[in-house]
């Protein structure tokens, strides 16, 4: 497995800053429409999630596309759910969680299950991101948590969950970056 260099790539850092600013402005402009857009994204991805699949999702931070509607629908369908949990600044696992279960604050302000929750091996990982491209390239926050998790759970289907405006022409791709299988936005399901 390739390992990221000790110093961040300035081109990726600049792209991350630009994407954060654009995403924040987009969500402000959407206002109350953000909830309907998140519901549309959930509706687009639900037909692509097999019955009985264990699904890892995330709880939105700031202006990420909120998967709450998707979480509610999957829970109602009886799927086993998991949330990303940072055990330390580099190690992420997926722990079992259901709506209403207690959460704690983890590193990077992540809301995560209690450490006593059992680990789940996801069949499908729904991931947040800052930007994506049509080849399944994904740029996240730069810590590499999801890339390491994608390598650990190599058999899991990887789906980005993002605003359509987060698509870019090309995400810089390094040897340790793991591509997505699909991206879902409020406008549709985009297989890679």
Reported as a single tens digit per residue, the pLDDT across 60-95 is 998 999 999 999 999 999 999 999 998 877 788 999
Residue 154 is assigned to a structural domain of this protein: yes
The CATH number of whichever domain residue 37 belongs to comes to 3.40.50.10420
- For residue 6, the model assigns a pLDDT of 47
Residue 30 is assigned to a structural domain of this protein: yes
Total domain count for the chain? 1
Residue 5 is assigned to a structural domain of this protein: no
Domain that holds residue 97: 10-191
Residue 1 is assigned to a structural domain of this protein: no
Residue 130 is assigned to a structural domain of this protein: yes
- For residue 132, the model assigns a pLDDT of 96
- For residue 83, the model assigns a pLDDT of 97
CB crowding 61-77: b at 16 or more within 10 Å, else e: eebbbbbebbbebbbee
Residue 165 is assigned to a structural domain of this protein: yes
- For residue 185, the model assigns a pLDDT of 98
| Residue 186 near residue 45, CB atoms below 8 Å | no
Residue 166 is assigned to a structural domain of this protein: yes
pTM of the model: 0.91
Residue 149 is assigned to a structural domain of this protein: yes
Query: Which segments in the chain show pLDDT lower than 50?
Result: 5-6
| Residue 67 near residue 60, CB atoms below 8 Å | yes
């Amino acid at each position: 497995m390739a390992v990221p260099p000790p110093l961040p790539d300035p081109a990726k850092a600049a792209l991350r800053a630009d994407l954060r600013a654009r995403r924040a402005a987009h969500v402000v402009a959407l206002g109350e429409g953000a909830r309907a857009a998140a519901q549309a994204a959930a509706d687009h991805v639900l037909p692509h999630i097999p019955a009985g699949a264990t699904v890892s999702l995330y709880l939105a931070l700031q202006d990420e596309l909120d998967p709450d509607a998707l979480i509610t629908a999957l829970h109602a369908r009886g799927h086993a759910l998991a949330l990303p949990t940072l055990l330390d600044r580099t190690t992420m696992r997926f722990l079992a969680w259901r709506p209403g279960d207690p959460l704690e604050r983890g590193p990077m302000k992540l809301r995560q299950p209690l450490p006593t929750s059992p680990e789940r091996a996801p069949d499908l990982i729904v991931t947040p991101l800052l930007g994506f491209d049509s080849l399944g390239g994904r740029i996240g926050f730069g810590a590499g948590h999801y890339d390491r998790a994608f390598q650990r759970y190599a058999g899991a289907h990887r789906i980005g969950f993002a605003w359509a405006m987060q698509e870019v022409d090309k995400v810089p791709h390094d040897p340790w970056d793991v591509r997505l299988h699909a991206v879902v936005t409020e406008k549709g399901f985009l297989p890679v």
